[in-house]
Amino acid sequence: MDMSVFDLFKIGIGPSSSHTVGPMVAARRFLLDNAPLDDVTAVTAELYGSLALTGVGHATDKAVLLGLMGETPQDVDPASVDQQLAQAEASGQLRLLGSRVVPFRRADHLLFHMTESLAEHPNGMRFTLTRQDGSSTSKVYYSVGGGFIRAEGEQAAAPADGATTPARPYPFDTMAQLLAHGERSGLSIPQMLRANENVRYSDAELDAGMDRIWQVMRDCIAHGLSTPGQLPGGLNVKRRAAKLWQQANDKSAAAKAVNDLPHDALHQVSLYAMAVNEENAAGGRVVTAPTNGAAGIIPAVLRYYAEDCKPADPATGVRNFLLTAAAIGMLCKRNASISGAEIGCQGEVGVACAMAAAGLVAALGGTNQQIENAAEIGIEHHLGMTCDPIGGLVQIPCIERNGMGAVKAITAASLALKGDGTHFVSLDEVIETMRQTGADMQAKYKETSLGGLAIHVITVNHAAC
């Protein structure tokens, strides 16, 4: 399996890995693949399927333009986005990759095909450039979840850095294979994942990269817990994490009488997750884990581990957590999907819950069998979850759903750690079930905002007005 921990965990911006991060990467890659651009006179971007139906709410339009301008998800300053786009709109020009200037009008150069889908994935986009001699070049890309993109006709999504990987000492395409490696080698899952990563990265590089991921996650939680206000997009959704966090930490007698409940520790975990996803909904800096729509679950459970579990060596525990979580994410992406537009939210929140549960068990010293059990529980109890964001925004039910997913992950880890690793349903079986369930799910429940809460709530609200 040619994936790295840094493919599953990528630093980017909100609100969506498939609808924001992926299209930004694809737009930039299209121009890089067709350089030089000295004689280009126009560029057109066309969005299809889920990208067209929920693209405005997911900032796909902004992401495409930023990618054409040469920005990358990991380096773009979220605070500069609106100003850059406003300047382009006002001038009627785009500076391709920061250099070649071409005319730009949304109505002519950014097209939404809401009734059409391309053949290979619901998240399709076509880019076309025209040169001074009248010739044109087009290419289709698919954003297949988690910020991964795939060009039309390619068999596999390209890793984040586009690099190929040498042979790994513990190759695996199923959990059964990974467990078998563990039985033969006597190594834990995080130890085997580290060995696999070492074919590309030294231990120092690997640890530095994972520490950076954890730092961005912590910063995102902290910013979300201290930022009140209203989220963009037109639903007038208020940020809640900051106020609820303040209430949870209010030391006054009156507040304690209301707030002190037996489940306060888990309440705080849910707030960590909600804080991240409020940042995501606002277009802030987040870590795709494994998607943006589910970006709050793993940071929340990691903070729970680092602060509430009181580990003797938190740095090593966090790294083992991330390596193990990545292994679960790789299996889900390889054998099912992590794209809400392809298999619903079971592939986003469900997978993130499984990753977090497995990671927590590994960080706490659980066996490989307990790790598998925790991941299986995490997915099993999200099977069939639809992706039906109201207004096409990654807000309702997405933000609360992350809070619930984080709590479920801790529960799954607890159940697994209290057992001996023996369980009835294997992780491979539940991943295949998730894939089949997604295939059976109607398209209106897969990130199109044409069914479920997305249509019911909007209809009710309109009827009441």
Query: At residue 16, what are phi and psi to the nearest 5 degrees?
Result: -150, 135
Rounding to the nearest 10 degrees, give the CA dihedral for residues 438, 342, 423, 304: -130
Q: What is the mean pLDDT of residues 87-99?
A: 94
Task: Kindly state the average pLDDT of the residues 346-361.
Answer: 98
pLDDT digits (tens, 9 = 90+) for 234-249: 999 999 999 999 988 8
The pLDDT of residue 251 is 67
Above 80 in pLDDT, residue 265? no
Looking at the structure, tell me whether residues 212 and 127 fall in a common domain: no
Confidence class for position 161, pLDDT limits 50, 70, 90? very low
pLDDT surpasses 60 at 158: no
pLDDT at 460: 46
Q: Residue 464: its pLDDT value, please? A: 36
Q: Is residue 393 part of a domain?
A: yes
Residue 134 falls inside a structural domain: yes
Does residue 451 fall inside a structural domain? Answer: yes
Q: Are residues 136 and 185 in the same domain?
A: no
Q: For residues 417-437, give the mean pLDDT.
A: 96
Q: Is residue 283 part of a domain?
A: yes
For residue 259, pLDDT beyond 90 = no
Q: What percent of the chain has pLDDT over 70?
A: 93
How far apart CA 389 and CA 450 sit, in angstroms, is: 9
Contacts of 263 (CB under 8 A, 6+ apart): none
Q: Are residues 55 and 135 in the same domain?
A: yes
Q: CB of 23 within 8 A of CB of 125?
A: yes
Q: Is 214 a domain residue?
A: yes
Q: Is there a single domain that holds both residue 409 and residue 342?
A: yes
Q: What is the CATH number of the domain that holds 33?
A: 3.30.1330.90
Q: Which residues contact 310 (CB under 8 A, 6 or more apart)?
A: none
Last residue of a domain, one of 143, 166, 185: 143
What CA–CA distance (Å, rounded) separates 163 from 155?
16
DSSP state of 19: I
CATH number at residue 341: 1.10.4100
What's the pLDDT tens digit per position in 27-68? Answer: 999 999 999 999 999 999 999 999 999 989 899 999 999 999
Residue 375: pLDDT band by 50, 70, 90 thresholds?
Answer: very high
Q: What is the dihedral of CA 140, 30, 200, 427, to 10 degrees?
A: -30
Query: Would you state the pLDDT for residue 154?
Result: 84
Average pLDDT, integer, range 403-425:
96
Q: What is the pLDDT of residue 228?
A: 96
Do 110 and 52 share a structural domain? yes
Per-residue pLDDT of 325-344, as tens digits, reads: 999 999 999 999 999 999 99
pLDDT for position 246: 92
236 in any annotated domain: yes
138 and 204: one domain?
no
Q: Quote the pLDDT of residue 256.
A: 60
Residues 112 and 23 in one domain: yes
Average pLDDT over residues 279-308: 96
What's the whole-number mean pLDDT along residues 419-448? 96
294 inside domain: yes
pLDDT at 169 (0 to 100): 97
State whether 183 and 117 are in the same domain.
Answer: no
List the one residue out of 398, 359, 331 whose CA is nearest residue 16.
398
Q: Which of 409, 398, 209 is nearest to 303 (CA)?
A: 409
pLDDT bucket at 465, cuts 50 / 70 / 90 = very low
Does one domain contain both 310 and 411?
A: yes
Domain carrying residue 412: 175-252+260-456
Q: So what's the pLDDT on residue 156?
A: 64
Residue 58 near residue 392 (C-beta atoms within 8 A): yes
Claim to verify: residue 112 and residue 246 sit in the same structural domain: no
Per-residue model confidence (pLDDT) at position 266: 84
Residue 38 lies in a domain: yes
Question: What is the rounded average pLDDT for all residues in the chain?
Answer: 92
At 463 the pLDDT is 37
Query: What confidence category does residue 367 fall into, taking pLDDT thresholds of 50, 70 and 90?
Result: very high
pLDDT in the model for residue 160: 46
pLDDT of residue 165: 59
pTM over 0.75: yes
- Same structural domain for residues 192 and 91? no
How much is the pLDDT for 163? 53
**pLDDT at res. 249:** 86
Q: Is 267 exposed, middle or buried (0-12, 13-18, 19+ CB in 10 A)?
A: middle
Q: How many domains does the chain have?
A: 2
- What pLDDT shows up at residue 255? 55
Q: Which of 216, 229, 221, 262 is nearest to 245 (CA)?
A: 221
pLDDT (tens digit per residue) in 213-229: 999 999 999 999 999 99
Same domain, residue pair 215 and 328? yes
